[in-house]
């Protein structure tokens, strides 16, 4: 159903809607969980991996519009999730979710959405919604699904209008682990699942700001033993685990807000010459720790088809190569704010924004994209090998 500048009458058969803070109401067919959810509406350009997207903790407090029209066709299973039921609060799709056609499926996508308390909305003109986001930026909205078709639209408009958005919000407490965990899962193989790794060295301590599980599996695959700690862990708590290196994970929200407690820890780790590797939010907070600035993007980068070029002297003969990457971020490191002693190593070929940094004279680097998501499919796995291989 099409977008409208003013609230249209509820059409017959509508069981779901998207209500924007400016009063725009988009009617459709609801699926998944019943009820309402509040968040920022963004769009993702990936053609596959919808379960991974919906369970990526970086999407906390966000409603994902899929630009690919057919979502849910391969059903759902418990091997393709990235977290413990966390992630996006809802999703918007063009076509109605049909029964699956895939030998790995163990459930239908609409049933899986309901079981994980996520709201879906189908029958939407996702091209028009995507264009609106590209022009006006990501709006605050309420997504709702009521099978009986009863909606308090006025209340939803006020709720969406009153939400401040992601800027200034620390969302890490919503998604971070609360206790230390020894990670054992390894590389996935068809018919065998993820298995376990018995490698004991080197030891990587991963700060969980809302991490995707496949990041830990990738670190194990690269040869590390991984211990995951809460995002609010102190420098002393981390060092007590005797890490060979520390990983800074992805996560949701504003890096400047999370950085109020995380950046001092990262600075202390840098001062102690502990090797560091950051992804997404972890990359942004590494940037803040070395004196750079971050800012909210107009529409963000989200999808599995983003070209990134390696630049700078640190990549030797590989400088200039292009990786096809997976991204999910609404904030970015301002490349113009990088201080002396910090090199830009990767840039987006879509808009020239920063996608990687390295600290001169230290084993510390970060990338904005998600190398564990395998969009290339293996263009970016070298980053895990570079980090773990440099730990001795």
Residue 370 annotated in active site: yes
Q: Which of 91, 280, 306, 329 is catalytic?
A: 280
- The span from the CA of 106 to the CA of 365, in Å, is 39
**What was the pLDDT predicted at 3?**
57
In whole angstroms, give the CA distance from residue 322 to residue 330. 22
Query: For every residue of 77-135, which 3-state class applies, written as one string?
Result: CCCCCCCCCCCCCEEECCCCCCCCCCCCCCECHHHHHHHCCCEEEECCCHHHHHHHHHH
- Long-range (24+ apart) CB contacts under 8 A made by 84-87 are 85/55, 85/116, 85/117, 86/55, 86/57, 86/60, 86/174, 86/175, 86/210, 87/53, 87/54, 87/55, 87/56, 87/57, 87/58, 87/59, 87/60, 87/118
pLDDT of 120: 98
Direct distance between the N- and C-terminal alpha carbons of the chain, in angstroms, rounded to an integer: 57
Residue with tokens 């019943």: 34
Whether residue 357 contacts residue 347, with contact meaning beta carbons closer than 8 Å, is answered with no
Per-residue pLDDT of the chain (392 residues; tens, 9 = 90+): 455 556 678 999 999 999 999 999 999 999 999 999 999 999 999 999 999 999 999 999 999 999 999 999 999 999 999 998 799 999 999 999 999 999 999 999 999 999 999 999 999 999 999 999 999 999 999 999 999 999 999 999 999 999 999 999 999 999 999 999 999 876 655 565 556 555 557 999 999 999 999 999 999 999 999 999 999 999 999 999 999 999 999 999 999 999 999 999 999 999 999 999 999 999 999 999 999 999 999 999 999 999 999 998 777 778 899 999 999 999 999 999 999 999 999 999 999 999 999 999 999 999 999 999 988 888 899 999 999 999 97
Domains, the chain, ranges and CATH?
16-162 (3.50.30.20), 172-389 (3.40.50.880)
Close Cβ partners of 310 (under 8 Å, ≥ 6 residues apart): 318, 319, 320, 321, 322, 323, 345, 346, 356
Distance CA 157, CA 96 (A): 25
Active-site residue 317, yes or no? Answer: no
pLDDT at 360: 96
Counting Cβ atoms within 10 Å, is residue 250 exposed (0-12), middle (13-18) or buried (19+)? buried
- Determine if the peptide bond prior to 19 is cis (ω within 30°): no
Please report how the helices 281-289 and 255-271 are oriented relative to each other, as an axis angle in degrees rounded to 10.
60
Active site residue 78: no
C-alpha separations of 4 from 66, 287, 315, 328 in Å:
19, 41, 49, 28
CA torsion sign for 103, 109, 115, 118 is positive
């Amino acid at each position: 159903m099409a977008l409208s500048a003013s609230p249209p009458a509820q059409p017959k058969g509508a069981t779901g809607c998207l209500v924007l803070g400016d009063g725009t109401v988009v009617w459709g067919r609801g699926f998944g969980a019943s009820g309402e959810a509040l968040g920022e509406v963004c769009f993702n350009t990936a053609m596959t991996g919808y379960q991974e997207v919906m369970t990526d903790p970086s999407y906390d407090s966000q409603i994902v519009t899929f630009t690919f029209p057919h979502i849910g066709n391969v059903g759902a299973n418990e091997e393709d999730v990235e977290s413990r039921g966390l992630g996006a609060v809802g999703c918007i799709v063009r076509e109605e979710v049909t029964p699956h056609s895939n030998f790995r499926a163990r459930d239908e996508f609409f049933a899986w959405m309901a079981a994980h308390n996520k709201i879906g909305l189908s029958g939407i003109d996702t091209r028009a919604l995507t264009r609106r986001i590209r022009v006006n930026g990501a709006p605050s909205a309420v997504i709702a699904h009521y099978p009986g078709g009863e909606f308090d639209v006025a209340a939803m408009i006020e709720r969406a209008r009153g939400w401040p958005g992601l800027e200034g919000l620390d969302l890490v407490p919503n998604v971070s682990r609360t206790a230390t965990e020894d990670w054992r899962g390894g590389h996935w193989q068809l018919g065998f699942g993820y298995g376990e790794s018995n490698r004991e060295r080197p030891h990587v301590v991963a700060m969980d700001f809302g991490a995707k599980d496949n990041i830990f599996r990738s670190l194990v695959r690269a040869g590390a033993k991984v211990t995951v700690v809460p995002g609010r862990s102190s420098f002393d708590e981390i060092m007590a685990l005797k890490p060979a290196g520390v990983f800074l994970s992805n996560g949701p929200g504003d890096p400047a807000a999370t950085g109020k407690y995380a950046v001092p820890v990262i600075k202390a780790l840098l001062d102690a010459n502990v090797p560091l590797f950051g992804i997404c939010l972890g990359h942004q907070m590494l940037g803040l720790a070395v004196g750079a600035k971050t800012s909210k993007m107009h529409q963000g980068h989200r999808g599995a088809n983003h070209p990134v070029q390696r630049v700078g002297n640190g990549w030797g003969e590989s400088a200039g190569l292009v990786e096809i990457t997976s991204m999910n971020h609404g904030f970015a490191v301002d490349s113009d704010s990088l201080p002396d002693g910090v090199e830009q190593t990767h840039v987006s070929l879509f808009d020239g924004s920063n996608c990687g940094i390295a600290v001169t004279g230290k084993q510390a680097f970060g990338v904005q994209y998600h190398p564990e998501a395998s969009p290339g499919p293996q263009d970016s796995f070298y980053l895990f090998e570079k980090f773990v291989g440099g730990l001795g």
